Chain A
Amino acid sequence: MKKLLLILTLIVLSTFAMAEVVEIVFWHSMSNPVDKKSIEESVAKFNETHPNIKVKVVLVPGTETEVTKLMTAVAAGTGPDVYYLDRFTVAQRAHQGVLECLEDYLVQLGVDVKELKSKYFDFAIAEATYNGKLYALPWDTDVRVLYYNKKLFKKAGLDPDKPPVTIDELDEYAEKLTIIKNGRIEQLGFVPWFQQGWHYTWGWAFGGKFYDEKMQKLCFADDPKIIASFKWQKKYADKYGMKNIGAFESAYTGANLNPFLAGKLAMVVDGNWFLAQIRTFAPKDFEFGIAPIPYPVYGEAGSTWAGGWSLVIPKGAKHPKEAAEFILYMATEGQVKYAIDTYHLPTYKEAIPGLVKADPMQKYFAELLPKAHCRPVIPVGALLWDKLTEARDYILWGKKTVEQALRDAQEEVQEALDKALGKK
């Protein structure tokens, strides 16, 4: 009997002891093995140094503007405590009421928010802010550049040390690097919209402007430079045919194949993170170069734009205070480690030296950062992205003229923006 009592007491005591440890759930979507490992190691270290908190990592696949699982989970009250959100959508999700105000909890933890903000690049803080308050802490960032295959350059009789600088040169090289046999594309020189060749990439390279902050008006449909950037892209669709490009591309869907790494695409605009993938997955004798994004004479030389992720607390999180503590750790110490492990560009300034030391090639990207554009910080940022992408598809498939597609997108997003800003 005594023994039984003892065991019972032990059980009761141990449950009490366990109850003191707060478990927080962290959802992220970095399924890439390199990124995943670094995050896991940081989490393990946090768990070790914070014995009162236990972080449980759950990998939840998703894309930039797709937050299906988060929305459903938050609505059902089963959401995580910490979520990995594309930073340019923070304002929109905060406006939709999906996020807790992180700043309030940071203040509770005794953090000097003003000082903390100064440790990050300004554009990253701007993206993480909604109504003057921090709703997220920035995680990594990125820039876009032109990658080109030196071997294919040599084969086509081009100088492998002279990548295209202007749009005209790019067009000329693309022509020379394309091989079409019996109506089938065997090798593509360049297609503007592959990988990171987004509407923003070319809009800015052509010197265009998407949003007027002072007037709070979208202005891309009225900007002749942005119209020109889409007309230039359409030329590629007309030249090769969307069906043929689709057929070329479809050989690389499903599996984690990349036509550039396979040596079938000579030039591509991609992010700085692509460097790590080239090193891991490309054949040993792969020779490539990196160059600034080409631009027309009236455009912007060396333009690029920065995106990246952030850490947020979803609405209804069970332990928001502990979540804030974890986010603070990840966005500072975690980021320093992440930059070294994964070569992702940090938004946390102190992480830059470690990155450049670990990989001198990153200096090229880090130096682009201060000049990088960031997407309009508006409460309908995700919608704007989706509508621009939709407009691009209409244009490429010849369903609408450039002017019409952009006009329709601008009107629809402006209406939603006015509503969100309380103007209507």
Chain B
Amino acid sequence: MRKYQRRNFVKGLLFILPWLIGFAVFTVYPIIASLYFSFTEYHVTTKPQWIGLENYKKLFSDVLFVKSLTNTLYYAAGLVPIGLVVGLVLALLLVQPLKEIIFYRGIIYFPSIVPAYAFATIGIWFFHPYLGFINHILGFFGIDGPMWLSDENWAKFTIILLSQWGAGGTALIYMAAIKDIPRELYEAAILDGATRWQMFKKITFPLISPATLYYLVIATLGALQIFDLPQIMTEGGPANSTLSYVMYLYRHAFTYANMGYASAMAWILFIISMFLTFLIFRTSGRWVFYYGARR
């Protein structure tokens, strides 16, 4: 490194120093600290005591830990694909050449800015077994609607359905990706006599795959951390059927002040998240296409 290069480097460092400090203090340090705490018994107001792998051993014989983990995987398995379909369908509708499309775009995105608490409270009434809107509508078709949140077999699915209120965000990303696809590809396809479905399958879907990659990663991480809806609507009930991983972690960390145990849980979730993200990226080479780039 030459002298002026070094000076530039130092200057550059100085410029990003505020961010570096923030990153080190508020992100790196807590991560490392939680790794240390996960090997200790730590009750926040007392000093942490080293107990080795004890927390991790205890976790796997903890019934609620296993329950909350399977619940969370269920959430992820439902939220990610359903969210993808809903978001994509909305996006396809929102690129239709209509005059008042801007208005529709606004409406579709609107629910995403409603705070979770307000939405959850409305959701309770929306899905109320006797008085709710959904079961009322189902009643018109002679269907005796399920108990939704009061039924342990339906409660998780109810939350997955309700989460689709946030699909406007996904739709927006897909909409942008669809609008980026060059017109001439479709024109050529029409000349060749392709159907709409063929165009979607062969042109649209492959060319928005970078957006799909982004969606899969973000949605998976988000689903693994699901917290607010079940916390507000059911507090984990009935019979722990909606208890998510992060809710259980939160309980140990803050209600029971069991910070060591909670840290161990956080690290296991971190490893699961890393693994799933790695998996998605690893397979992405096979199904993600960048227009104009060589494969």
Binding site for B on A (CB under 8 A): 65-68, 71-72, 74-75, 96-98, 184, 242-244, 246-247, 250-251, 253-254, 315, 383, 386, 393-394, 397, 399
The one of B46, B129, B257 in contact with A247, judged by C-beta atoms closer than 8 angstroms, is B129
Q: Are B147 and A247 in contact (CB under 8 A)?
A: yes
Given contact pairs A243-B147, A243-B150, A250 touches B45 in the complex (Cβ within 8 A): no
Q: Are B43 and A96 in contact (CB under 8 A)?
A: yes
Residue of B nearest to A68 (CB): B254
Q: In the bound complex, how far is the Cα of B135 from the Cα of A184, in angstroms?
A: 13
In the complex, how many residues of chain B place their beta carbon closer than 8 angstroms to a beta carbon of chain A?
24
Given contact pairs A68-B255, A96-B257, A251-B130, A315 touches B45 in the complex (Cβ within 8 A): yes
Residues from chain A with Cβ under 8 Å of B131 in the complex: 251
Given contact pairs A254-B121, A254-B124, A397-B238, A71 touches B147 in the complex (Cβ within 8 A): no
Residues from chain A with Cβ under 8 Å of B124 in the complex: 250, 253-254
Residues from chain B with Cβ under 8 Å of A315 in the complex: 45
Interface residues of B in 238-260 (CB under 8 A from A): 238-240, 254-257
Residue of A nearest to B67 (CB): A399
Q: Are A250 and B128 in contact (CB under 8 A)?
A: yes
Residues from chain B with Cβ under 8 Å of A247 in the complex: 128-130, 147, 150
Q: Are A184 and B147 in contact (CB under 8 A)?
A: no
The one of A65, A74, A246 in contact with B238, judged by C-beta atoms closer than 8 angstroms, is A246
Q: In the bound complex, how far is the Cα of B248 from the Cα of A256, in angstroms?
A: 27
Residues from chain B with Cβ under 8 Å of A397 in the complex: 152, 238-239
Q: In the bound complex, how far is the Cα of B191 from the Cα of A315, in angstroms?
A: 78
Q: Is B54 an interface residue (CB 8 A)?
A: no
Interface residues of B in 43-65 (CB under 8 A from A): 43-46
Given contact pairs A96-B45, A315-B45, A71 touches B254 in the complex (Cβ within 8 A): yes
Q: Are B151 and A243 in contact (CB under 8 A)?
A: yes
Residues from chain A with Cβ under 8 Å of B257 in the complex: 67, 71, 96
Residues from chain B with Cβ under 8 Å of A71 in the complex: 44-45, 254, 257
Residues from chain B with Cβ under 8 Å of A386 in the complex: 256
The 3 tightest CB contacts between A and B, nearest first, are: A246-B150, A397-B239, A68-B254
Residue of B nearest to A183 (CB): B144
Residues from chain A with Cβ under 8 Å of B147 in the complex: 243-244, 246-247
Residues from chain B with Cβ under 8 Å of A254 in the complex: 121, 124-125
Q: Is B149 an interface residue (CB 8 A)?
A: yes
Give, as a whole number of angstroms, the nearest-CB distance from B139 to chain A. Answer: 11
Q: In the bound complex, how far is the Cα of B234 from the Cα of A250, in angstroms?
A: 10
Residues from chain B with Cβ under 8 Å of A246 in the complex: 147, 149-151, 238
Q: In the bound complex, how far is the Cα of B254 from the Cα of A98, in angstroms?
A: 13
Give, as a whole number of angstroms, the nearest-CB distance from A311 to chain B. Answer: 19
Q: List 14 A-B contacts (CB under 8 A).
A: A96-B46, A97-B43, A97-B45, A98-B45, A184-B130, A242-B239, A246-B149, A246-B151, A250-B128, A251-B131, A253-B124, A254-B124, A254-B125, A386-B256
Q: In the bound complex, how far is the Cα of B239 from the Cα of A243, in angstroms?
A: 11
Residue of B nearest to A74 (CB): B45
Q: In the bound complex, how far is the Cα of B232 from the Cα of A253, in angstroms?
A: 11
Residues from chain A with Cβ under 8 Å of B240 in the complex: 393
Q: In the bound complex, how far is the Cα of B257 from the Cα of A383, in angstroms?
A: 11
Residue of A nearest to B255 (CB): A66
Q: In the bound complex, how far is the Cα of B147 from the Cα of A60, in angstroms?
A: 34
Contact mask for chain B residues 138-159; partner A; CB cutoff 8 A; 1 contact, 0 none: 0000000001011110000000
The one of B44, B121, B150, B255 in contact with A75, judged by C-beta atoms closer than 8 angstroms, is B44
The one of A184, A250, A399 in contact with B149, judged by C-beta atoms closer than 8 angstroms, is A250
Give, as a whole number of angstroms, the nearest-CB distance from B140 to chain A. Answer: 16
Residues from chain A with Cβ under 8 Å of B254 in the complex: 68, 71-72
The one of B128, B152, B239 in contact with A251, judged by C-beta atoms closer than 8 angstroms, is B128
Q: Are A75 and B45 in contact (CB under 8 A)?
A: yes
Q: In the bound complex, how far is the Cα of B234 from the Cα of A253, in angstroms?
A: 10
Residues from chain A with Cβ under 8 Å of B128 in the complex: 247, 250-251
Residue of A nearest to B257 (CB): A71
Q: In the bound complex, how far is the Cα of B101 from the Cα of A378, in angstroms?
A: 65
Q: Are A393 and B46 in contact (CB under 8 A)?
A: no
Contact mask for chain B residues 219-231; partner A; CB cutoff 8 A; 1 contact, 0 none: 0000000000000
